[in-house]
Amino acid sequence: MKPFLLLLLILGAVFTAAAQNTSRADSLLNIAQQAGKKKDYPAAIAAYQRLAQEPTAKPRYKAVSFYNMACYYSLQRDAPNALANLRKAIDAGYVDSHQISTDSDLDLLHADKQWPRLLARARRLEEKQIIRRPEDVQLTTTDIDHFWTAYAAARRDTAQARAIFRREYFNKASAGLRDYYDLKIKDDAFFTKRILQRPQYYNSIRATTMAITGEKPKIVAAFRHFQELYPALRFQNIYFVIGGWVSGGTVSDAGLLIGADQIANGPGVNTSELSLVQRNRCAPVSEMPSLMVHELVHRNQGPQDGTLLSYALNEGMADFVAELVTGHNPNARLHPYGNAHEKQLWADFQKEMLGSNSDNWLANGKQETPEKPCDLGYYVGYRIVQAYYNQQPDKKQALADILNIRDAKAFLARSGYAEVVAGR
């Protein structure tokens, strides 16, 4: 899977906002992605070329455009153009050496004499960005402070609320909120509407969102334990923002971007204005360590291959590792239903797992009912990963294997999960 698609899919439950303004860069990206899905590589390359030259495109878009062009040229057996665009991608800031070295789309280049030099350059540049100690991870919560200042003013003058949020919140944004806005919010008018239509909820979560800073020692302790189990772990800074329920989290070059208003439950919080799935997904601040480990897994796991199976494994392993590290599964709510219906879920999952449509299994909040939760692909992925881990004598190696899955079908076969569930 191409990195920008992976960027949009790998984190927990995503709530997609409708009726948002689309920039020219976003439109070009969508054209390129659609062509890529159809394996129309010349059309995808042409769209990415336009995106890389688009003046309004963010540096991240340009770097990923060059990288995707390298992949598509490679798939067309055009090594010179693939190498040239990979070089441009690295120079533009795409320095994820793990992704570059493991991406099967670039296998054509491995025999070229330029390959080791390019990979070494990516690693040198990446090294400057690496956070090696959990204590050095920065938890930025200034956007939460700015939001509450803006919110109070917007409540006093609802007619000017949009301008107030723009001036007091978005114009003072951290690097994380700037990326979160570009990736998820996109429209401050829509954001303002979503915030103001939930006054009881937002009036009740100020204390819990302000308590996030106090969770850093617990998060650092969880990250330290994770590193003990997996020494190759790479850390990222974390930005907590108020997103208006458009996304629980995403990632960017800045770091992990967390929608704090979706993990703000606690004593005194009024969730009556939230939908059923929002209420069920609204996590308490006390679960922060497991949630952050889940997100960090996504920045350390292998690439997806575009299938439902691969997507479910990536999400399921994030839950499994979070539970392994902290003792708490951030999607534990799925397991009572999953355990009671495991055989049927597995039978249904197998019918779709090698396709690319995840609509019935992941980020499918519209299918949530009081009797059956959505996101059951997380549960299936968790069970497959758990089956693999349980049968391996060397648990550290098992965890490394899980985090570096290259072939989803082969991993499923090695897990023995089909046999395990048949015997239950």
Asked whether the beta carbons of 188 and 165 are under 8 A apart, the reply is yes
The answer for 137, left when phi > 0, alpha when psi is -120 to 50, beta otherwise, is: beta
User: Tokens for 171?
Assistant: 């114009």
Q: Last residue of some domain: 262, 293, 324?
A: 293
Pairwise CA distance, residues 239 & 177, whole Å: 7
- At residue 12, the pLDDT reads 34
**181 and 91 inside one domain:** no
Query: pLDDT digit string (tens) for 142-173?
Result: 999 999 999 999 999 999 999 999 999 999 99
Pairwise CA distance, residues 261 & 314, whole Å: 24
Query: pLDDT digit string (tens) for 24-56?
Result: 887 888 899 889 989 999 999 999 999 999 988
- At residue 22, the pLDDT reads 54
**219 and 306 inside one domain:** no
Average pLDDT of the residues in 201-226: 95
- At residue 98, the pLDDT reads 82
Give me the CATH number covering residue 98. 1.25.40.10
**327 and 363 inside one domain:** yes
Pairwise CA distance, residues 32 & 191, whole Å: 27
User: Tokens for 149?
Assistant: 């200042």
Pairwise CA distance, residues 376 & 378, whole Å: 5
Number of domains composing the chain: 3
- At residue 263, the pLDDT reads 92
- At residue 26, the pLDDT reads 77
**250 and 310 inside one domain:** no
φ/ψ of residue 18, rounded to 5: -105, 170
**118 and 148 inside one domain:** no
- At residue 251, the pLDDT reads 78
The answer for 18, left when phi > 0, alpha when psi is -120 to 50, beta otherwise, is: beta
Above pLDDT 90, what percent of the chain? Answer: 77
Q: Last residue of some domain: 249, 274, 293?
A: 293
Average pLDDT of the residues in 388-397: 97
**10 and 87 inside one domain:** yes
Pairwise CA distance, residues 152 & 199, whole Å: 11
**287 and 318 inside one domain:** no
Q: Last residue of some domain: 237, 269, 293?
A: 293
Asked whether the beta carbons of 234 and 240 are under 8 A apart, the reply is no
User: Tokens for 68?
Assistant: 């995707």
- At residue 403, the pLDDT reads 96
For the chain, the C-alpha Rg in angstroms (whole number) is 21
**320 and 276 inside one domain:** no
Query: pLDDT digit string (tens) for 346-365?
Result: 999 999 999 999 999 998 99
User: Tokens for 355?
Assistant: 């396709």
Q: What is the DSSP string of 343-381?
A: HHHHHHHHHHTTSS--TTTSS-GGG--SSS-S-HHHHHH
**141 and 256 inside one domain:** yes
User: Tokens for 24?
Assistant: 């020219």
**142 and 281 inside one domain:** yes
Question: What SS3 class is residue 241?
Answer: strand
How many Å is the maximal CA-CA distance in the chain? 65
Q: Give CB contacts under 8 A, 24+ apart, made by 40-46.
A: 41/72, 41/73, 41/75, 41/76, 42/76, 44/68, 44/72, 45/69, 45/72, 45/73
Q: pLDDT-based confidence at 335, cuts 50/70/90?
A: very high
**278 and 192 inside one domain:** yes
2: pLDDT strictly greater than 50: no
Average pLDDT of the residues in 188-216: 95
Per DSSP bridges, beta strands 249-252 and 238-241 are unpaired
Query: pLDDT digit string (tens) for 245-264?
Result: 988 878 787 889 999 999 99
φ/ψ of residue 201, rounded to 5: -65, -55
Average pLDDT of the residues in 387-412: 96
**158 and 101 inside one domain:** no
φ/ψ of residue 326, rounded to 5: -110, -15
By residue range, what is the domain housing residue 355? Answer: 301-422
Residues 6+ apart with CB under 8 A from 86: 66, 67, 70, 100, 106, 109, 118
